[in-house]
Structure 1
Amino acid sequence: MTHVVVVGAGYAGVMAANRLAAVGQSDVRVTVVNPRPEFVERIRLHEHAAGGASAVQERRGLLHRDVRLRVATVDEIAARSVRLDDGAALDFDYLLYAVGSTAAQGPPGAEYACSIADLAGADSLRGQLPRLSAGARVVVIGGGLTGIETAAEIAYRYPSLVVELVSQSVAGWLPESSRASIEGKLAKAGVRLRTGVRVTGIRPDGVVTDTGLLPSDCTVWAGSFGVPDLALRSGLPVAADGRLRTDDTLVCVDHGRIVGVGDAVAPPRHVGEHLRMSCQAAIPMGAHGADTVLALIRGERPEPLSLGLAGQAISLGRRDGFIQATHRDDSARGFVLSGRVAAVVKERVCRFTVASMRFSRAYRWLPGPTPTVPEPNSIAVR
């Protein structure tokens, strides 16, 4: 019996575990280790935080019936086993590293803000917002997808509150016409934009910026993402940002029995430079990682990762949205969708995301852009 341990049960981990169980041989046993029994639908955390649809789902019906779930936290990864926070150890033949991402370290005083990157922060915000009086100020820090969606959702659910979005720019990676459209939609939704502003600290009564103090009754941190330090603590090879380094098949560069998938993995640039932390990349990476493990079990050479992206979908409340079509390398194309149609498409994307993990065996994804010159990497099984 070959034992595969999957560390993490987010989008990448669930897809990988389900595909292993659905496609694998009868002599492959799969155990998922995750700190909580429920599945957190992170792409709905902004809805959850604003008092809308819950981002928490029961894993029953989501995980394959043959996958065993162990509710625990992995403290350390050794050569052929993992040590859990309860002192127990799990041996593995192969390990799928799918620990996902977390909120990056915020500015000084970040403890006074609700982080929207995890369920604890979203739960805290969900409890705070209904207690605010009319006219209270909610300041959202961050002009990325998370900040945009969170600010719009709060303004939609709580029109009596003053919602402000503070950032150097809003959707700064998109073409100018797309940025202008999104900014206009945020303003129409009632979100006040403060761009060109750098946040230097957070206080209980406001946000410290390079232009002065911005009063706030409730502050939301929606900055960049970081990754858990499990790989670093375990002595595995990591990139400068702490992500596990892999070859182009997603096998760890110096541990041939560990395969990395999702946000916490840094594959070579020629296959992964265009991939951003997102469920759009995590789910196909999870599927490919499962296929890589199965190839290793069979004694075959795994296929290199080839993963293309299709677009970026942004919800702006429940009745408006914006979708930027992209080339497979995630660069913007000229086609966009906007308004209610975009809101409907975004909702269907969210629903398909969950459905794709249930039907893991049939899941397929877009091939990636033409790769650049590969970087040298080596694998050593130990």
Structure 2
Amino acid sequence: MKHRIVVLGAGYAGAIAAGRLAKRLSREDVHITLVNAEPDFVERVRMHQLVAGQDLKPRPLADMFAGTGVELRLAKVTAVDADRKAVAVIDADGSAELAYDTLVYALGSGWNDQDVPGTAEHAHQIAGRSGALRLRERLARLEAGKTVTVVGGGLTGIEAVTELAEARPDLNVAIAVRGEFGDWLSPKGREHLRKVADRLGIAVHEHAAVTTVETDAVRTEDGTVPSAVTVWTTGFAVHPIAAASTMKVTDRGQIVVDGTMRSVSHPDVYAVGDAGFAIGAKGRPLRMSCASGIPMAWQAADAIAARLTGGKLPNAPLRYVNQCISLGRREGLIQYVTADDRAVNATLRGRAAAVYKELVCKGAAWSAAHPTLGMPVRRRR
């Protein structure tokens, strides 16, 4: 019988893992099923562009995996029984169950409202395509002079606020951050970020932890920030499916994995992307990001292939090189970092950085859309 590999989720990590497995392993030996709720691959790193009114190139998963041997199953995952090696799904035909021999769990994450009152009712999120489209429609109806406030000063928040300020100069665009604006960046990086924010007319509210979100304002510990539209970007939360299973997970619900992305409690399960809790350089956990998810997918796929074919297990270090930040369409910031993701005093700024970031985004999408190129097929033992 063929070895059944089921991949849950077709974001960057899941799509790349499925394609890499299809290339590494023979179709005579394995059957790969890729389960995803939506028919298209979503470039999550471009959601701020979608919000700002730009149209993104459609990338149907059926086209991406045509001829690869990967079976695409459009369905929503509702549960994983890691002890029985079964996945419960719902699709257009109703409820069903998929059995597996090896599972790659790549369901990713969604927005995290941090349990702040009013967030779920009044704030918008851009962690997924549906949320980004709703915000896009809302902004299209927003009249000039109104205030849009982005809450959260991480990469997502910075990219969102600068993109909106550039695309909608008729609006008052603001950002509220818990600490200092860009406080994890190097001095050169912070200086450039503030320069761009000033030029775009962004109102920066520092040390402004939001305590409540209202219809027309956000309240902080020290005051109130008017906000006709509030965009919430304070981090990500993984889907609760793993935490509801018997797999070992962290307090945040991420599956605890070893260096090959294999679950430490269930050796037939691998977790990649935001859903996996992996350790990188100097013992630091990898952050939720595309920069982490893609190498995690490579590591997991190569480990699965090695274990099935008797090959050598991968031992590539998981490390960071830089953080790529778009600041609208004409500006960017590349912050170089240590292997464990700490900023060093070296940056690339301005137009060159914007071009660099665009190439990175295109490269990530290309890797997902061409998942089976350039690797030899191996047969099972």
1:34-83 Cα shifts (integer Å, max 9, x gaps): 11111110000000011113275322443353111111112121232111
**Post-superposition offset of 1:248:** 1.8
Partners in 2 of 1:279 and 1:3 — Cα distance? 27
- Structure 2: any 5+ residue segments left out of the alignment? 376-381
Tell me what 2:41 maps to. Answer: 39
Aligned with 1:320 (options 331, 335, 342): 331
Once superposed, which parts of structure 1, at least 4 consecutive aligned residues long, lie more than 3 Å away? 268-272, 299-305, 358-364
Tell me what 2:203 maps to. Answer: 192
Partners in 1 of 2:270 and 2:312 — Cα distance? 13
**Post-superposition offset of 1:363:** 7.3
| TM-score, structure 1 normalization | 0.90
Within 5 Å, which residues of 2 pair with 1:1-382? 1-26=2-27, 27-54=29-56, 57-63=59-65, 65=67, 66-78=69-81, 79-85=84-90, 86-106=94-114, 107-111=116-120, 112-168=122-178, 169-268=180-279, 273-299=284-310, 302-304=313-315, 306-361=317-372
**Post-superposition offset of 1:316:** 0.8
**Post-superposition offset of 1:328:** 2.4
Structure-2 change in CA distance of 1:256 and 1:300 (3 Å): farther
Q: Is the 8 A contact 2:281 2:340 kept in 1?
A: no
Identity within the alignment, %:
38
**Post-superposition offset of 1:299:** 4.8
Partners in 2 of 1:77 and 1:299 — Cα distance? 28
Structure-2 change in CA distance of 1:143 and 1:327 (3 Å): same
Quote the RMSD (CA, aligned, Å).
1.9
Q: Is the 8 A contact 2:282 2:340 kept in 1?
A: no
**Post-superposition offset of 1:272:** 6.2
Question: Larger RCO: Structure 1 or Structure 2 (Cα < 8 Å, ≥ 6 residues apart)?
Answer: 2
Q: Is the 8 A contact 1:7 1:98 kept in 2?
A: yes
Farther off after superposition, 123-132 or 176-185: 176-185
Q: Is the 8 A contact 2:151 2:233 kept in 1?
A: yes
Q: Is the 8 A contact 1:115 1:221 kept in 2?
A: yes
**Post-superposition offset of 1:3:** 1.0
Farther off after superposition, 55-64 or 257-266: 55-64
Structure-2 change in CA distance of 1:105 and 1:186 (3 Å): same
* SS of match in other structure, 1:88: strand
* Alignment: residue pair count: 364
Tell me what 1:380 maps to. Answer: none
Partners in 2 of 1:172 and 1:270 — Cα distance? 22
Structure-2 change in CA distance of 1:148 and 1:240 (3 Å): same
